[in-house]
Amino acid sequence: MASNETHYTLPRAEFDKPVKILIVVAPYYKDIADQQIAGAKAEIEAAGGTWDLIEVPGALEVPTAIGMAERLSNYDGYVALGCVIRGETTHYDTVCNDSSRGITLLGLQGLCIGNGILTVENYDQAQARASLSDMNKGGGAAAAALHLVALARKWSAPRSGVGFQPATDEIQIAGDAKGPTTA
């Protein structure tokens, strides 16, 4: 990232009701993962939320764990964390593409997920992105999840006076002051 670039960051999401987030991390590069986790926890707590943390063997297992948690638990959102550093084989491409695709597909199903799985060329890039004092991508992933939770809550709020409303027994059929009759 060039030092003269500026980036806009949305204001922190705010909530009327408590938010519970699951952080799912693949700690293959433990020191990088620990920094990502610290950033995610701090962001969730700053928004007044609570978190649980689970570890999975690798980045490919992150979407599976999130899918399982969605079916079997009660989280409002998820933070996916881990780091994939390019190696000498095409395995890097598979892990990056498939973990990202899995998370995207879950998101398109309505899950609120912040994707913080780093996909980098080398360890120095990973360190810069994980560092709390530099890019803090763990905190950014948590912020993304929290913003999606806020949107989901906004759009799932009860609506009144909008759209089709089916007839009920209390609504009289036009032309019949007594309502429906049976033969």
Residues with a known catalytic role? 91
DSSP string, 46-59: HTT-EEEEEE-SST
Q: In what order do the strands lie in the sheet with 20-25?
A: 50-55, 20-25, 77-85, 113-120
Instruction: Quote the CA–CA distance of 103 and 80 in Å, as a whole number.
Output: 8
* C-alpha angle 107-131-101 in degrees, rounded to nearest 5: 20
